[in-house]
Amino acid sequence: MAEALRLAHQAASEDEVPVGAVVVHQGKVVGRGYNRRESDQDPLGHAELMAIREAARSLGSWRLMDCVLVVTLEPCPMCLSAAQQARVSQVVFGANDPKGGALSLGYRVHEDPRTNHRFRVELEENAECSQVLRDFFKKKRAAGPV
């Protein structure tokens, strides 16, 4: 989670929503990402997708079956589905997202028996994951409308 938090801080320094993600395989980080939606003007520029893409390139396979996706914020439905498509073995996140997180919204694709791949998803609450987001949005609100 420490590396994902470092990436979240990097995102914040680039005026991006501070979310960072890493993919871990056999104890080694094989993929990294942070939000880049504003920088790239890409609606798919989520931290998880960046980390999954890099991990697939690093490992030479889109099947990340023995990999754990670690992310600072609860994945949205798109990112949780991407984790399912990538065949990760587990997703670990550090802060809930009640307005955009897949689990909070009831999208539990990782447990759906109709899909061909299921995996564990765990919240490992981390105060810094929540704090970096609160600080970012507090600063944004103080700056006023864009």
Catalytic residues: 48
> What backbone torsions phi and psi does residue 141 show, to the nearest 5 degrees?
-65, -40
What 8-state DSSP symbol labels residue 113?
A: T
What is the three-state SS of 32-96? EEECCHHHHCCCCCCHHHHHHHHHHHHHCCCCCCCEEEEECCCCCHHHHHHHHHHCCCEEEECCC
The SS3 of residue 137 is: helix
Nearest Cα neighbor of 1 from 46, 47, 37, 61 is 47
